[in-house]
């Protein structure tokens, strides 16, 4: 399995000079999950429940061998996903139907595999991704709801969406987002590029949709916290630019709760042949970039989100 000085690594990035092992197949999956019962996506040494460990255990039963996997983006505790993409390498030969329906029989109701595809060795769930999109859902009614309370963030004060949009415009483009990263963030470089930040209302729901090349730890939740402060009138729209320029996390205020956050799309090059995605969650019938009340917009179908 070695050609020159470049050994193949299971699930790793497949680089020029490497030799693909005979009989090995790389499989990509789209996974939906309710993050509330889990301590995030990534497996942890402490043995607490995570999406990764739960999914790996179910896949290992279908493959009849130990399966480990790589995800497109690690989500925190209680954060949801409608289109998390993972990949794994396996010697098992199974149809897509087995990877989807068979795996789901071994999963709890809070995790569901949506589709499966055999992909070329050059596909990597994390490194092949061109951008990622999150949606943050705020239930903005006068009285809190007892239904789906762990699927939205509740905020009872009236929100001025035009003020929030004015503040959000400052964040578009490439910036140092140190003021919007968690203190425990391990990223070496705080510079990220936000391509789109839309805000819309759908009944009592206020929706933030953020698309970027990558995200820092708690970045979306910290952006949501800042924009909520602007929307309710506690801070002017210009404060967002001040927070960004400060590069100081202490300037950004409160981190918004995890309950309203969803990883909804991962964008991959079309050459990988992944299915078109429906961002969701299911209560929102809107395509990416086409939230209600927004003029124009839309990027067509992404590939790779399920």
Tokens of 120: 């070329």
- Are 238 and 181 in the same domain? yes
Residue 176: C-alpha distances to residues 94, 122, 127 (Å): 45, 30, 21
Picking from 119, 142, 167, the residue at the C-terminal end of a domain is 119
Q: What is the pLDDT of residues 4-20, one digit of tens each?
A: 467 899 999 999 889 99
Q: What is the share, in percent, of the chain residues with pLDDT greater than 70? A: 94
**Confidence tier at 87 by pLDDT (50, 70, 90):** very high
Per-residue pLDDT for 299 more than 60? no
- Condensed to tens digits (0 to 9), the pLDDT of residues 247-293 reads 998 898 789 999 999 999 999 999 999 999 889 998 888 888 888 87
Distance CA 241, CA 233 (A): 16
For the record, the structure tokens of 228 come out as 């909520």
What's the CATH number where 112 sits?
3.30.70.580
Report the number of distinct structural domains present in the chain: 2
Best CA proximity match to 180, nearest among 128, 257, 251: 251
Compute φ and ψ for 25, nearest 5 degrees. Answer: -125, 140
Q: Answer yes or no: is 306 within a domain.
A: no
With respect to residue 92, please indicate whether it lies within any of the assigned structural domains.
yes
The residue range of the domain holding 113 is 2-119
Q: What is the pLDDT of residue 5?
A: 64
In this structure, are 226 and 253 located in the same domain? Answer: yes
- Within 10 A of 180 (CB to CB), how many other CB atoms are there? 30
Together in a domain, 100 and 182: no
Q: According to the per-residue pLDDT averaged within each range, which of 29-33, 188-192, 286-290 is highest? A: 29-33
What pLDDT does residue 239 have? Answer: 97
In a domain, 124, yes or no: no
Burial class (CB in 10 A: 0-12, 13-18, 19+), 146: exposed
Regarding whether 138 and 31 lie in a shared domain, the answer is: no
Answer whether residue 239 is part of any domain.
yes
Q: Is the pLDDT of residue 298 over 80?
A: no
| CATH number for the domain that contains residue 217 | 3.30.70.660
In a domain, 78, yes or no: yes
Say whether 76 is catalytic. yes
Quick check: is 299 in a domain?
no
Mean pLDDT of 157-176: 98
Same-domain status, 99 and 148 = no
Binding residues: 134
Write out the binding residues for substrate.
Answer: 134
Contact 243, 179 (CB under 8 A): yes
Residue recorded with tokens 């730890």: 217
Co-location of 107 and 138 in the same domain: no
Based on the fold, state whether residues 65 and 167 are members of the same structural domain: no
Separation of first and last alpha carbons in the chain: 32
Strands in the chain per DSSP E = 2-3, 6-7, 25-33, 70-71, 80-90, 111-119, 131-139, 153-154, 173-176, 191-202, 205-212, 261-267
Q: Are 188 and 168 in a shared domain?
A: yes
Question: Are 64 and 163 part of one and the same domain?
Answer: no
Distance of CA 125 to the CA centre of its chain: 12
Point out the domain boundary residue: 89, 119, 149. 119
Judge if 51 and 152 occupy the same domain: no
Looking at 91, 119, 147, the residue that finishes a domain is: 119
Do 37 and 155 share a domain, yes or no? no
**Per-residue DSSP letter, 206:** E
**Radius of gyration, alpha carbons of the chain:** 20
Residue 297 maps to a domain:
no
Please provide the average confidence, as pLDDT, over all residues in the chain.
Answer: 92
Is 66 in the same domain as 99?
Answer: yes
Note whether residue 300 is domain-resident: no
Reported as half-sphere exposure (CB side, CA atoms, 13 A), residue 294 has a value of 23
């Amino acid at each position: 399995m070695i050609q020159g000085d470049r050994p193949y690594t299971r699930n790793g990035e497949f680089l020029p000079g490497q030799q693909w092992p005979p009989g090995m197949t790389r499989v990509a999956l789209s996974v939906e999950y309710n993050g509330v019962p889990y301590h995030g996506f990534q497996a942890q040494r402490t043995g607490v429940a995570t999406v990764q460990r739960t999914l790996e255990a179910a896949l290992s039963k279908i493959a009849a061998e130990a399966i480990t996997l790589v995800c497109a983006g690690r989500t925190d505790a209680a954060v949801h996903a409608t289109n998390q993409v993972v990949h794994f390498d396996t010697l098992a030969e199974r149809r897509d139907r087995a990877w989807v329906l068979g795996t789901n029989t071994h999963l709890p109701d809070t995790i569901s595999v949506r589709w499966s595809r055999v992909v070329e060795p050059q596909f990597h769930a994390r490194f092949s991704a061109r951008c990622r999109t999150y949606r943050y859902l705020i239930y903005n009614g006068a009285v809190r709801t007892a239904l789906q309370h762990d699927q939205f963030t509740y905020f009872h004060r009236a929100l001025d969406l035009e003020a929030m949009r004015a503040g959000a415009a400052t964040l578009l483009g490439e910036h140092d987002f140190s003021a919007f990263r968690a203190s425990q963030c391990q990223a070496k470089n705080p510079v990220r590029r936000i391509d789109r930040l839309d805000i819309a209302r759908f009944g009592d729901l206020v929706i933030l949709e953020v698309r970027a090349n990558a995200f820092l730890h708690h970045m979306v939740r910290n952006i949501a916290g800042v924009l909520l402060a602007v929307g309710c009138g506690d801070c002017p729209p210009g404060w967002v630019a001040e927070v960004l320029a400060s590069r100081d996390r202490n300037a950004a205020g409160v981190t918004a709760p995890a309950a309203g956050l969803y990883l909804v799309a991962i964008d991959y090059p079309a050459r990988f042949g992944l299915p078109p995605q429906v961002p969701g969650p299911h209560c929102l019938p809107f395509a990416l970039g086409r939230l209600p009340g927004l003029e124009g917009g839309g990027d067509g179908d992404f590939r790779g989100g399920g």
